[in-house]
Chain A
């Protein structure tokens, strides 16, 4: 796990691409707007979803994200896929026969709806995550006028996640070097005590850091080191994705 330096997260792909260089706030808006357009599209407009897929895969290619990386990370969806595959079997209403299976038409459409909207949403989030380090996401949310309390807690959350992971590794090494490696249910007490002391140790480190920040003039908001928000050109290029998707959706609506 590499949550330490630069507060990257496990899904960040360090590349040099035009998408990586876009300011975070325009990427967040573009990604969310694209997902909203996908989700509100009627499930019978099959061709529209093909266009959406081409659009987001085009952005992924621009960001130099390998298709295999996207496919393996999209497996996060598996529980919903299982749920979706059950629908045609258990659904009611009109039925069709396919390969000897009697399937419900309503169930098939329901499964398609969940699969395609879920998958496109996951891919859209993955493109955002792969091109934006966690710290930049917080900066983006701040520039989008997210309340200061939320930004403050989210900033601490990212910093303390690294502290927690490091502290947990230290405690594990200490435990192993004393010849103790609890792995059975009846040894759960040791693990439970470990969780509690992990929390306390991390808090006390975090508290020291926080007091040090206060004494250096921290007032609840990190100083802005950047030169300000995104330019009009950057907004325009990032919003190409949701605007193109919205045009597809509008066409589908007029035809439907």
Chain B
């Protein structure tokens, strides 16, 4: 099987809930578009497109989580690291919209639910953790790698918990909430580890070669490798 759906399908949740979350997602997306437009400069415009393309492409590679269950990248943390939280949420939303329309992955009526979980909750949780961890951890590539990994795992689990809340509000079936929550969190912890590794590997490579492209490092760049804490001494070493 080349491609399995893990996005919420049509008919899983009842009408008041999907209509309500469609409204929530639409309002939040308008805010993200407005805030994101301010960020969108000559560097971020192609970057936002590439981040969306990267998430889109990597989502086609499913990795096995359990027998019969496969997962793929959600991408919220990667997007938040590279293009910031507002454009990041827009990028992930676009991936979800195109997948619902072009690949029939995720129901059209469930788009509000999927966008709320993966694009809004996932990106927001990822970005809050990135902001906090980058302040606490040493400003090195290792610190950035740990930040990316932890933020990814937590953001994927938060996105999964979003579904649990939606299911509690309007599940069309009577499977127990505890069962749904345990299955969702368990599966998504495993997905989160895979996602964390991919995110950390990608962001660390980008930060090493083109640190100017990492949105999360714009205000406070990393210390240069090998010379922790001494940014000014680089000029003595000659050209990089």
Contact = CB atoms under 8 A, between A and B. Distances in A.
Q: Identify which of B18, B53, B87 gathers the most chain A CB atoms within 10 Å of its CB.
A: B53
A129 B101 contact: yes
B109 A156 contact: no
Given A157-B52, A161-B57, A195-B198, A36 B210 contact: no
A204 B204 CA distance: 16
Contacts, number: 218
Contacts of A196: 201-206
Interface string A53-67: 000000000000000
Interface in A131-152: 134, 137, 147, 149-150, 152
The number of chain B residues touching the other chain, given as a range, is: 35 or more
Contacts of B108: 31-32, 35-36, 121, 124-125
Given A157-B52, A157-B94, A79 B69 contact: yes
Nearest to A76: B5
Given A11-B102, A39-B11, A196-B206, A156 B50 contact: yes
A77 to B, nearest CB: 6
A73 B5 CA distance: 11
Chain A facing B: main interface SS: helix
Given A116-B11, A117-B10, A193-B201, A153 B48 contact: yes
Interface in B1-31: 1, 3-6, 9-12, 15, 18, 30
B47 interface: yes
Contacts of B12: 80, 114, 118
Interface stretch (B120-128, B155-163, B168-176, B220-228): B168-176
A195 B199 CA distance: 9
B94 A150 contact: yes
Given A121-B108, A129-B103, A199-B206, A110 B174 contact: yes
A95 interface: no
A154 B213 CA distance: 20
Interface stretch (A86-94, A176-184, A240-248): A86-94
Q: Identify which of A113, A155, A188, A214 gathers the most chain B CB atoms within 10 Å of its CB.
A: A113
Contacts of A193: 201, 205
Contacts of A93: 174
B48 A76 contact: no
A67 to B, nearest CB: 16
Contacts of A157: 49, 52-53, 56, 91, 94-95, 98
B33 interface: yes
Nearest to B91: A153
B217 interface: no
Q: Identify which of B11, B91, B102, B205 gathers the most chain A CB atoms within 10 Å of its CB.
A: B11
B52 A28 contact: no
B197 A76 contact: no
B32 to A, nearest CB: 9
B98 A154 contact: yes
Interface in A76-118: 76-80, 82, 86-87, 90-93, 106-107, 110-111, 113-114, 116-118
24 contacts: A9-B103, A31-B108, A35-B108, A38-B10, A40-B15, A73-B104, A79-B4, A79-B68, A107-B174, A114-B172, A116-B11, A122-B10, A150-B93, A157-B95, A159-B53, A160-B46, A160-B54, A161-B57, A164-B53, A164-B57, A192-B197, A199-B50, A203-B213, A214-B42
Given A75-B1, A77-B9, A79-B6, 9 more contacts: A32-B108, A76-B3, A87-B175, A122-B9, A134-B102, A137-B101, A149-B36, A199-B50, A203-B50
